[in-house]
Structures are given as structure tokens and as C-alpha cells.
Structure 1
Amino acid sequence: MPQVFKDAIDSFVEQERANQRIPGLSIALVSGGKLRKAAGYGQLNVETGTPATAETVYQLASVTKQVIAAAVVLLEQEGQLTLTDPVAKHLPGTPASWEKITLLNLLTHTSGLVTDEPLDLAKSYTEADAVAAVKPLPLRFAPGERHSYCNFGFVLLGEVIRQRTGQRWDEFLQTRFFRPLNMSTTRRHNLRTVVTGRAAGYALEGEALVNVPSWTRDFASGGLLTTVGDLAKWDEMLRQGTILKPESRARLFEPVVLNNKKTYPYGLGWNLVGEPGKRIAEHGGSRPGFATHFWRELDGDRSVIVLANRGADVGRIAQGIVQRA
């Protein structure tokens, strides 16, 4: 007997899940200031047969970057730093080659630093280990010359937060964002912590679905765990301004200006697309066993969040939900 789906979004998501061989995923649709739909599809754990729900917990991967950017903007709002500060002002012992790198360069991937920390990503090491490994390496280009995606820049931003506040970046986020917003599930990724409803990560080897060992890496470049429901609360904060002032929220979505005075369509942890009156901010994330996407209208009131437990084209799923919303 064929399965009957509740609506066009359910039907589309289940078809995409089957086509892309995604074991499990969860979605949220926000419109008009309300959470219009939150649902799970498939399984959060194939071996146990546990179904994915709106409460399933996923590794957020690089969608974490927008949260770190908001934390840095909050510190600027409170007068603890400015985005144009050299990174050396807040991190002691930086090499001379970093002299012209600003916090804004780190936030917009225009620093010229190496793309990733040159360490085995499958092994456990600290932020200090990563910083020490990168310090001797030459810049790839002059700061502000161009945009080139750089995870390591956000590792440094996590360290800046610690230096300015005396708290680890995840502790600061808990204190200033997650608890006030009642984002009760969102936390730093940690394999030792027991997390109810945590999704297992998967990959395809040929036609076979296999388990993916989870990364131990939990840096500010992509180290959060969360649910679609918590991210809907985050989205509401970005629209309503309960923590960030309007000018601070707007700062997140301003395209970066390069040295040649041309703009590049990237804000602070957000890709910027569209045209005046139809502007969109979005960002994806990927790490072994997981794929994530956050899509939101800047000149409208809709947002779509997709979290999945296999590397997949979840941006396509987000777009399909938008078309059917």
C-alpha cells in the first residue's frame, strides 16, 4: 500500500531523501514570525531503526559560523572590540605576517590564511595546537585582496571570544544566546557527552551505506550540535532583535568590501544572493556524515532549515521546500 504524505512538502522531502540516499533528515519552515512546519523523515540511526524527528540532534558543521559571527558582533555592540581591530590586538603572540589581518577579514574569509588547520582532522587536538601549526605558514594572499573560504579564521575567532570574555566560545554562546533564547539542545559537539536523540552519521561506499566515525574536532568553525527547532528560535532572534540591536543584525548581512573597493557577496557567516527587494542569506555546512543548510529571506519573512545525517545536496531540498511553502 503506497504511503500517503501530509502535504506537498512531505512528499517532496521524502522523494529527495530516497533519491539522495539520505538515511534521515529534519526540516523547519518559518513564515510570518511563526514556526509553520517542523518534521523529521527517515531514521536518525539505521542500526536501531530510530526515526528522525523535529527533535533529532545533528552536527551543525559550518552553519555554526553564523552563530560565532553573531557573538563577535555582540561583543562589538558592547564596546569590547571593533570588527576593524587587527587580530593581533586580541590574540597575543601572532606572527608579523598577520599584522594586517582584521577580525572582519576572519569573519568574511578574506584573511589570506590557510584554508584549514594543517593537522589530521580525525585526531583530537586543541585550538592552541591548531594555532601553533598555522603560525609559521605564509599567507596565500594579502588580507582583503579576495574572498577564499577559510575554516581556520573561525578557529581564531573562537580564541578571540575566549580572550575577550574569559569564557570558551561555547560557554559564551550558552550564556548570552542559547539560554536566553531557550535553545535547550544546542551545545558544543562532544563525543563523551550523552545526547538524547543524537543522529548517527553515514556515507555511501559504492551502493553500501556505512557508518562514519564522528570527528573529534569541535572548534568554532563548525563544532555545534543542534535541532531544527532550536535554529528556528535563532532565526526569530535574527528577525526580532531580542539580543542584537537592529544595526548589529544588519551588519551580519552586509557584503564584504575588498581592497579594490568592489564588494563580494558574503556577509558575516552568510552567503548573500538575490537582488534588492529579493535578497537571500544562506549558508551550508558539511562534515563527515552530515550536511546542513540554512536559507532565509532578508526582504521577506520566510526561513528554511534542513539538517541531514549524510553528505547530500540539502540546499536543493531547502529550495524545494521554499517553492512549495
Structure 2
Amino acid sequence: MRLLPILMLMAACAVGAEPDAARMDAVVASRVEADQFSGSVLVQRGQETIFAKSVGWANAEHDVPNRAETKFRIGSITKQFTAAAVLLLEEDGKLRVQDPVSVHVADAPEAWKGIRIHHLLSHTSGIPSFTSFPEYRELKLTEMSAADIVKVFRDKPLEFEPGTRFQYSNSGYLLLGFLVEKISGQSYEELLRSRIFGPLEMKNSGYDHNRAIVTHRAAGYTRGPDGNPQNADYINMSVPHAAGGLYSTTTDLCRWVRGLFGGEVLSDASLKKMITANLESYGYGLVTGKSSGHTFVAHGGGIEGFNTDLRYFPDEQMCVTVLSNVNTSATGAMADELAKLAFGEQVTLHSERKEIPLDSETLAKYAGVYQSDGGPTMTITLEDAGLMSRLGNQPKLQIYPESKTTFFPKEVAAELVFSIDVAGNATGFVLRQAGRERQFMRGPEK
């Protein structure tokens, strides 16, 4: 069975000329044609819709198409709601983000004595992510409370001294959810409903439960070895909790960021804490940055059967959200391309980039381990399929030569621009992605 794309909705309004909307349509269509997207996208300035489109099936077995009102699991976009919940409790005087975790967890392990709530929010605690544990494959099938999951990682050794490094950790946000419930006396779900979803009239957002009947909820899919869609693996939704347990719609997510930056959720002081960049440009539940001179906050999400991306440009009140109910690495690239088009910039679609032939002897000169300054390592290997790149512990991506110095992956909007010595060997490269650049230098051969 092939997941047939069905185009549902397209709207173009006053921001930018009509060709911009047509080009946005091409962004979505190119990913549909490549079997890389099924879901909904929305671009808004304020409450004005620039572009909206839904494609593919919300339920492929019953031929139910995705629509604007379709609800998607949003994965780690959940983390910004968790961060806001923590900051609301700080405003209530019930905690401080600089509190040691041990102040609120009486039996905290000795290794946690140097961990502050700030470290959990900014992914600098050193607590290993429980979703990377070998036992996670079985753990995710089980109904568990936040307290139960904390027990899974509480006695694991820290991976580094708190505050010295950035390392994304679902454990940190799970622990934040546990603290929110313990300190507030409410469930995580109840607090979000009463303090955020209700006041902002986010009527199509909530905590996802496997057994609940949720109208317009999309089923999640992944692609099998033959490239055809199949039902995504099961995950008990009690497990992701405050690290990734929510569902929402494109419209509700744009309503959320407008409310967040419009003073409807947090005080100015709390919002400033949330969007102040720490290590790796990560604030509290949000990445901060600039793209072509435009300041933005953003976060992506991934969970069984779903990938998502939400970006907001507060100065222009521009919201871009991409929600997919097929696992794909394309959502971030789509959001980046749609945002550029919304600002009147030119975009080269991934399908329009052309690779040139390079023989294996030449490609071998790019293979090696490259280190960024204080950041992750990129490993590039020559394999049968071609040149493969791997950033940290992320999945491998093939990179294709556009020239002898510029390579690009087809799944994400990025490029690697290499420096070459007189012998033709790569000595380093600049990774360009989402309006940012990071320098990588080649390490010595082992």
C-alpha cells in the first residue's frame, strides 16, 4: 500500500506576492513526491494565514485525509510547555530555577547534588537520556508514572559535571515533569490544561492517552524496508510525559507562540529566561537563533509515527509549523524553506539540487572524524552507497557532492562546505543549517 497524498487546503494572503504561496506549495509537493511527508503545515503572520496545506492520510486504513483540524503527537515540542509550567511555578513562588534539584527531591542521589533546575531546562545536567538505554525498547511498552521512570535513571552515573556541556536529555525533562507534579499538587496534564491550554483557548491540544477517544487524532506511520508505509511501533504515552507526551494542531501551536510572546502566559522576566540562549543556543525548551537577520525560536519533535517542527519569529509575529504523521527527517527543512519564502527570500528545493559524479578515490579524501569547537563530532565515512555523515549519535545521512567543496543531504536543509589542501584532502568544513554556521576541523588519523 502506498500512502497516497491528497491535497486538502491552500490559502494565500497579503504577506508576500502570489508566487511565494505557489513556491510554498512546491515545498510541500516536492516532499510528498519523494514520499517524505504526510501531514499539515501552516504559515501565519499574527492571525493572518499566509499558507496552509494538509496532505496524506490521517488514517490510511480508513481513507481519512489529514485536515487543518487533524491532531498530531508533537514529540519534543512538548518541552517548551514543560519549561513554561516550571516558570509559572517560579512566578507562584513555589520554586526557583536556580534551586538545586535536591531541595525538592529529598532522597536525591548524591550525584545530583550539583544539579539545578536550570540545568534540567537547558540540557546541561549530565543525566543520561533514558530513551537511549537498551531497556527502553521494552520500557516504552509499559504504563508508568513519572516517578517510576525517574527510578530508571536516578542511579545512573552523570555523563559530565553539571553546567559544563550540552547534551540533549529526555531524562531531564521527565524529571521536570515529576517536579511540576510534586510541587504543584496537580498532574502535569491538569496544570497545562488550567494554566495554558484553557486560557489560550487551545481546544485541540492536550496530553495524549492511548485508550482515550480523541476526535481527529492522526494515526502514526513509518516506512518499512520496501519504502511503503506501515503502522508505527507502539509506545505507551505515559512514558514520554513532560518530554514528549502532547498532541496539538498547527493552528493551536501558532496560537500558543502568539500567546507566549504576547504576555498571555508568562511575565516578561520569565519569558526572557525562557528564550535566553545557554550552551548550544538552547534556552528553556526552545532553541534560539537568527536566520537571514530574523530572530527566531524553534523546536522540533520526533516520536513513533510523528515528526514535527515549530518556529516563531517574534519581531514579525511569524509562525511556521510543520506536523507529519509519517516519520521523516524532512520537517525541519520544510519549516526552514517555508520561513524563508514567507520573508520573500529565494529557496532551492532539495529536489532541485543536482549532484555531480565523484569517484570513490576522491570521495575517500573527505572521510574522517571532524570536531566542532565545544560541540558534537561529525563522522564521515565512505560506504557502498556513497559518503555518509553522522553528527554525534544521530542517524547517518548520505551527503551528495554539488561541487568538489559543497555537499548536501537530501533529507534536511543543510550543506557542508569543505576546505581542501593542495593534495585534495579535506581539512575541515562549515556546516550551514537554519541560518547558522558551525566550523568543524578534521582530527588526526588514528
Deviates more, 1:116-125 or 1:286-295: 116-125
Structure 1 residues 35-90: Cα deviation after superposition (integer angstroms, max 9, x where no partner): 44443222111111111111101111000001100111111122221110011112
1:191-210 matches, within 5 Å, as 191-206=210-225, 207-210=227-230
Deviates more, 1:175-184 or 1:89-98: 89-98
Structure-1 residue corresponding to 2:53 = 39
Deviates more, 1:111-120 or 1:87-96: 111-120
Whether 1:135 and 2:154 are equivalent positions in the alignment is yes
Q: CA deviation at 1:183?
A: 0.7
Structure-2 residue corresponding to 1:188 = 207
Give the TM-score normalised by structure 2.
0.67
Structure-1 residue corresponding to 2:385 = none
Q: Greater strand share, 1 or 2?
A: 2
Q: CA deviation at 1:321?
A: 1.3
Structure-2 residue corresponding to 1:260 = none
Aligned pairs, number: 316
Letter in 2 for 1:225: Y
Whether 1:26 and 2:43 are equivalent positions in the alignment is no
Whether 1:216 and 2:236 are equivalent positions in the alignment is yes
Contact (CA 8 Å) 1:202, 1:290: kept in 2 or not?
Answer: yes
The separation in 2 between residues aligned to 1:324 and 1:19, in whole angstroms, is 21
Larger radius of gyration: 2
Contact (CA 8 Å) 1:26, 1:40: kept in 2 or not?
Answer: yes
Contact (CA 8 Å) 2:58, 2:65: kept in 1 or not?
Answer: yes
Contact (CA 8 Å) 2:44, 2:319: kept in 1 or not?
Answer: yes
The separation in 2 between residues aligned to 1:275 and 1:227, in whole angstroms, is 25
The separation in 2 between residues aligned to 1:210 and 1:197, in whole angstroms, is 20
Q: CA deviation at 1:303?
A: 1.5
1:1-325 matches, within 5 Å, as 7-8=21-22, 9-22=24-37, 24-116=38-130, 118=133, 119=136, 120-206=139-225, 207-218=227-238, 219-256=241-278, 263-274=279-290, 278-312=294-328, 313-325=330-342
The separation in 2 between residues aligned to 1:36 and 1:80, in whole angstroms, is 41
Letter in 2 for 1:322: A
Letter in 2 for 1:321: L
> Where does structure 1 lack aligned partners over 5 or more consecutive residues?
257-262
- Secondary structure of 2:129's counterpart equals coil
Deviates more, 1:240-249 or 1:166-175: 240-249
The separation in 2 between residues aligned to 1:85 and 1:25, in whole angstroms, is 41
Letter in 2 for 1:245: S
Q: CA deviation at 1:32?
A: 3.7
Letter in 1 for 2:177: G
- Secondary structure of 1:39's counterpart equals strand
Judged with a 3 Å threshold, the aligned counterparts in structure 2 of structure 1 residues 141 and 45 are, in CA distance, closer, same or farther, namely: same
Give the TM-score normalised by structure 1.
0.91
Structure-2 residue corresponding to 1:259 = none
The separation in 1 between residues aligned to 2:286 and 2:297, in whole angstroms, is 6
The separation in 2 between residues aligned to 1:41 and 1:90, in whole angstroms, is 46
Q: CA deviation at 1:29?
A: 1.4
The separation in 1 between residues aligned to 2:80 and 2:164, in whole angstroms, is 22
Structure 1 residues 215-238: Cα deviation after superposition (integer angstroms, max 9, x where no partner): 113311000011111111101112
The separation in 1 between residues aligned to 2:141 and 2:339, in whole angstroms, is 35
Q: CA deviation at 1:168?
A: 0.9
- Secondary structure of 1:71's counterpart equals helix
Contact (CA 8 Å) 1:291, 1:310: kept in 2 or not?
Answer: yes
The separation in 2 between residues aligned to 1:283 and 1:158, in whole angstroms, is 18
- Secondary structure of 1:65's counterpart equals helix
> Where does structure 2 lack aligned partners over 5 or more consecutive residues?
1-6, 12-20, 343-446
Q: CA deviation at 1:15?
A: 2.3
Contact (CA 8 Å) 1:201, 1:214: kept in 2 or not?
Answer: no
The separation in 1 between residues aligned to 2:161 and 2:246, in whole angstroms, is 30
Contact (CA 8 Å) 2:210, 2:237: kept in 1 or not?
Answer: no
Contact (CA 8 Å) 2:10, 2:51: kept in 1 or not?
Answer: no
Higher relative contact order (CA 8 A, sep 6+): 1
The separation in 2 between residues aligned to 1:96 and 1:274, in whole angstroms, is 39
Judged with a 3 Å threshold, the aligned counterparts in structure 2 of structure 1 residues 216 and 249 are, in CA distance, closer, same or farther, namely: same
Letter in 1 for 2:253: L
Question: RMSD of aligned C-alpha atoms?
Answer: 2.0
Q: CA deviation at 1:33?
A: 4.9
Structure 1 residues 256-296: Cα deviation after superposition (integer angstroms, max 9, x where no partner): 2xxxxxx5311001112227953221111001110000111
The separation in 1 between residues aligned to 2:50 and 2:213, in whole angstroms, is 30
Contact (CA 8 Å) 2:130, 2:152: kept in 1 or not?
Answer: no
Q: CA deviation at 1:121?
A: 2.1
